[in-house]
């Protein structure tokens, strides 16, 4: 996954902020694996208590809570926790479109974008194969360039299909949590 779940403006910290502001731990529990619920509830209760001391204490408690839930979320993904990242990192072109699709309840923009990207890439790879098809059999380097293009096209197409057919998206399976 592109930098996102561990950023200050990502979905985990956004949910943690909502949980703290609403005083409802359930708003963040969905972002961590079930086995981490106890630790999150304990951290949530401590953060809620400390937030009452004042603005500086609230900021410190919030940051500690955000780091805790992001760490536990990343552990649920089987990924290392490398710290809380700043807001505004480049998520690439797909993540914002996908989140916008979810917010709108309409996947058409992300589907159209992805189909266009895949089509363009497959067309280019195919064109490269076809350009290298007619090589002099005595030019081994040109033959190898053809084989590289051939394998690049076929294997890429296979991996695309396997990723789609296998539904191997981020965190799918294991009850909706990451693996």
Inside any domain, residue 84: no
Q: Which residue has the tokens 């700043």?
A: 86
Query: What is the pTM assigned to this prediction?
Result: 0.74
Residues of the chain with pLDDT under 70: 1-3, 167-179
Inside any domain, residue 21: yes
* pLDDT score recorded for residue 174: 45
Calpha distance 76→100 (Å, rounded): 25
Shared-domain flag, residues 62 and 109: no
* pLDDT score recorded for residue 123: 97
Q: Which residue has the tokens 């649920």?
A: 76
Q: What is the number of structural domains in the chain?
A: 2
Shared-domain flag, residues 62 and 16: yes
Shared-domain flag, residues 110 and 64: no
Inside any domain, residue 116: yes
Which pLDDT tens digit goes with each residue over 122-155? Answer: 999 999 999 999 999 999 999 999 999 999 999 9
Shared-domain flag, residues 167 and 121: yes
Shared-domain flag, residues 71 and 124: no
* pLDDT score recorded for residue 169: 54
Domain boundary among 52, 77, 102: 77
Inside any domain, residue 52: yes
Calpha distance 171→160 (Å, rounded): 18
Shared-domain flag, residues 102 and 47: no
Inside any domain, residue 5: no
């Amino acid at each position: 996954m592109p930098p996102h779940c561990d950023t200050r403006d990502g979905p985990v910290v956004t949910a943690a902020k909502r949980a703290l502001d609403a005083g409802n731990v359930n708003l963040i529990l969905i972002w961590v694996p079930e086995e981490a619920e106890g630790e999150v509830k304990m951290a949530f209760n401590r953060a809620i208590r400390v937030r009452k001391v004042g603005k500086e204490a609230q900021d410190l408690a919030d940051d500690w809570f955000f780091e805790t839930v992001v760490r536990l979320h990343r552990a649920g993904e089987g990924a290392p926790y490398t710290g809380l990242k700043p807001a505004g990192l480049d998520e690439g072109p797909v993540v914002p479109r996908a989140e916008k699709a979810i917010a709108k309840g309409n996947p058409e923009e992300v589907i159209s974008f992805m189909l266009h990207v895949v089509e363009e890439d497959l067309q280019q790879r195919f064109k490269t194969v076809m350009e290298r098809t007619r090589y002099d059999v005595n030019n081994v380097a040109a033959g190898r360039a053809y084989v590289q293009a051939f394998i690049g096209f076929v294997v890429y197409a296979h991996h695309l299909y396997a990723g789609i057919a296998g539904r191997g998206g981020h965190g799918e399976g294991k009850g909706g949590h990451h693996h």
